[in-house]
Structure 1
Amino acid sequence: MKSLLTLICLSFLIISCGKKQITVPGGKDLTGYEINDIDGSTSSYVIKKDENGNIIEEGMITDGIQNGTWITYFPEESNKMKTVINYVNGAMNGPYLEFNDRGQIEKKQSFTNNKIHGLYAEYKFGRPLKEYMYHDGMLDGYSREYSDRGNLRKEALYKKGKLDGLFKQFDEEGNVVLEYEYNNGEKVSGGIVSKNE
């Protein structure tokens, strides 16, 4: 009788696992995903589809935790990528890209253990709008903002999340119209720059 109960429980477990709708503590909610186990490993390739059968997300999991490259797609267009994200043990690590529906990059950044680390950039029609440098989740290095035409509008230098160095603002012709000097987040000098200077 005990072995029959065990057999029934095992059968129920196998049938339940066949549906592949699981959530692992600390992992991604995989409800609604198709899970394709990879023979001889603890990794699986997972796919989520919309009601029309178009793929809207795909990636790899290891023991229920996101690993490797994950891709999302625009609804109704499973051949057009929306985002590409890289994971290591459930944390974003490496490049992160966002695309518009024409396939052009709109956002590019890099992560280390879920913190922005390196270049953060936004684009419009292939032209940069913003370029910020980060270190361990904090602004660190040059940050630049551009007009829709690609002209430099603002430039600043950061150190450990605080303005540290020159902050400049430019007009449409590229002339400096505002300039401040910062030290550890405190403004120490500067102001409006006249065209005669």
Structure 2
Amino acid sequence: MINRITAFLILLSIGMSQEEYDIINLINEGGVYKQKFNDEILNGIIYKILDDKKVVLGILKNGKKDGLWTEWYPDKRKLEETYKNGMLDGSVSLFYKTGQREWRHTFSNGQFEGLWTYWYENGQKMKEGSFECGDSTGIWIWWDKNGQVKKEKKYKKRKNGIWTNHNEYVLIEVVKDP
């Protein structure tokens, strides 16, 4: 009985293992990844060699990015993106080389959606606002590095709003968009 269970678990793990592909051996044709010199649409784990180490970037399903993908820039900043069927869907974040989040955006089916936030390297919020169906919406706020509000802008769907700038004396001046 134990041998049958062990054999079953081994077969299950072999069946569930995924192919691995080095990103430098792939081409991207309209959002569908294939191996160079081969028209086979890929399914599996995508990696690259970074500082002599194998680093997983993400997973392809039917040749398209799916789930969490991670990329590192030469300046050591890290980008994390969430995909569904090859389209951005969920959180997308860029991190300073210190590990502090630089910005976080949200997408739905490849379109801007939800809260967008930017931070200074010291961790203080820089800017925050929302998107709805690809358009800026609601109140967007900008802060200085010390956390003081610099300006605000209210958006209505498909229309610009009123800019409110806060000067150093916390007086408010209203500037209409052109």
What TM-score bracket applies, with the shorter chain setting the length?
0.7 to 0.9
Q: Is the 8 A contact 1:144 1:152 kept in 2?
A: yes
Deviation at 1:75, TM superposition (A): 4.2
Identity among equivalent positions (%) equals 22
In structure 1, C-alpha distance between the alignment counterparts of 2:75 and 2:166, rounded to whole Å? 42
Question: Normalising by the residue count of structure 1, what TM-score does the alignment of the two structures yield?
Answer: 0.66
**Paired positions, count:** 152
Q: Tell me if 1:91 matches 2:95.
A: no
Question: RMSD value over aligned CA atoms?
Answer: 3.0
Q: Which residue of 2 aligns with 1:147?
A: 144
Q: Is the 8 A contact 1:67 1:86 kept in 2?
A: yes
In structure 2, C-alpha distance between the alignment counterparts of 1:133 and 1:19, rounded to whole Å? 37
Opposite residue 153 of structure 2, the aligned amino acid is A
In structure 2, C-alpha distance between the alignment counterparts of 1:173 and 1:23, rounded to whole Å? 55
Deviation at 1:19, TM superposition (A): 7.4
In structure 1, C-alpha distance between the alignment counterparts of 2:80 and 2:101, rounded to whole Å? 11
User: Which ranges of structure 2 fall in alignment gaps of 5 or more residues?
Assistant: 1-18, 37-41
Distance of aligned partners of 1:147 and 1:19 in 2 relative to their CA distance in 1, 3 Å threshold? closer
Residues 102-136 of structure 1, C-alpha deviations (whole Å, 9 max, x = no match): 10000111001221111111101111111121111
Distance of aligned partners of 1:76 and 1:153 in 2 relative to their CA distance in 1, 3 Å threshold? closer
Task: Specify which of 109, 113, 118 is matched with residue 113 of structure 1.
Answer: 109
Q: Which residue of 2 aligns with 1:128?
A: 125
Rg larger in structure: 1
User: Which ranges of structure 1 fall in alignment gaps of 5 or more residues?
Assistant: 1-16, 33-41, 187-197
Residues 61-120 of structure 1, C-alpha deviations (whole Å, 9 max, x = no match): 00111000001135496xxx6011000010000001110011000011100122111111
Q: Tell me if 1:64 matches 2:69.
A: no
What secondary structure does 2:99 align onto? Answer: coil
Question: Normalising by the residue count of structure 2, what TM-score does the alignment of the two structures yield?
Answer: 0.72
Q: Is the 8 A contact 1:23 1:64 kept in 2?
A: no
By relative contact order (CA 8 Å, sep 6+), the higher-ranking structure is 2
